[in-house]
A and B are shown apart, each in its own frame.
Chain A
Amino acid sequence: MQYIFWAYAAVWVLNVLYMASINSRQTALRREIDTLKSMVDQKQR
C-alpha cells in the first residue's frame, strides 16, 4: 500500500509545485510590468 501512496503523492506534489511555480513567476512578471510601465510613462512626460 505504501507504493500506491507514494505514487499518488508524487504526482500530486509535482503538479502542486508546478502550479505554485507558475503563480510565483506570474506575480514577479506582473510586478515587473507595472514598474516598467510606470518608467515608460515617466519618460514620455
Chain B
Amino acid sequence: MALTAAGMVATMYGAFLWAPTEVTMGDVQRIFYIHMACWAVAFPAYFVVSFTGIAYLINGNMKWDRIGLACAEIGTLFCTGGLITGPLWAKPAWGVWWTWDMRLTLSLIVWLLYLSYLLLRDFIEEPVKRAKFAAIYGIFAIPAVIFDYMAIRLWRTQHPQPVIMGGEGSGLDPTMRMVLLISTVTFVVWFILLAMLRVRLEKQRDEVSQLRRELMMGS
C-alpha cells in the first residue's frame, strides 16, 4: 500500500513536473502517462482471466475462478479508465471526443465483452456451472484483446502508432520513458493489491455459502 502511494506521488510528480512538454501536442500529452498505464494493466489482467480459465478447466480448482473473476473486474476498471482518458486526450489533440477507428472500436468491444462477462456470471446460480461458463468465456474473449493490442500495428489508425516496442522509428524521450515506467509499475502493483483484496472477498463469499449450507442441513 505504501509502495503504491509512493508510486502515485512519483507518477504525479513525473507527469506534471519532470517530463518535458511534448512539441506537437503540448501539455495535453501528459495524459499519456495515466492512459497508457491503464491499458498496461487492463490487457494483462484479461490475459490472466484466460489463463485462469484454462487452469480451471484442467483441474477444476475454484481458486482459479476466483482469480479470474478478480482480474476481469479489475481489468474492466482500468479499461474504463483507458476509455475515459482516451477521449479526454483525443478532444484537444484531434478535435473530436471519439472516432470509429480500429483501435478505439476494438477497445470499446473489449470493454463490453468483459462487462458482459461480469454481468452474465451473476445469472448462473450454481458455482461449478458458473465457473465453467466463466472459464470458457474468458478463453474465447482473449482474441479480441489480442486484436485490440495489435490494431495499431496491423492497420493505419487515427490512434497514435506504438511508442514502446513499435519497431524502427518509434520511441520515447528517456525522461518520458522513465515516467511511463514509474506510472506503469505503480499501476501494476496497485492491480496486484486490488486483486488480492478481491480474491479474499470471493473467499468470504464462499464461506458464507458454506455456512448457509451447514445451517440448511442442520434444520
Contacts and interface: CB of A to CB of B under 8 A. Distances in A.
A39 B190 CA distance: 37
- The interface size bin for chain B is 35 or more
Interface residues of A, number: 25
B70 to A, nearest CB: 10
Given A25-B201, A29-B201, A33-B211, A43 B218 contact: yes
B84 interface: yes
A3 B31 contact: yes
Contact of A40 (B35, B81, B84, B214): B214
B28 A26 contact: no
B77 interface: yes
A7 B218 contact: no
Chain A at the B interface: mostly helix, strand, loop or mixed? helix
B129 interface: no
Interface in A1-45: 1, 3-4, 6-8, 10-11, 14-15, 18-19, 22, 25-26, 29-30, 32-33, 36-37, 39-40, 43-44
Interface of B: 12, 15, 27-28, 30-31, 34-35, 38, 74, 77, 80-81, 84-85, 88-89, 91-92, 190, 194, 197-198, 200-201, 204-205, 207-208, 211-212, 214-215, 218-219
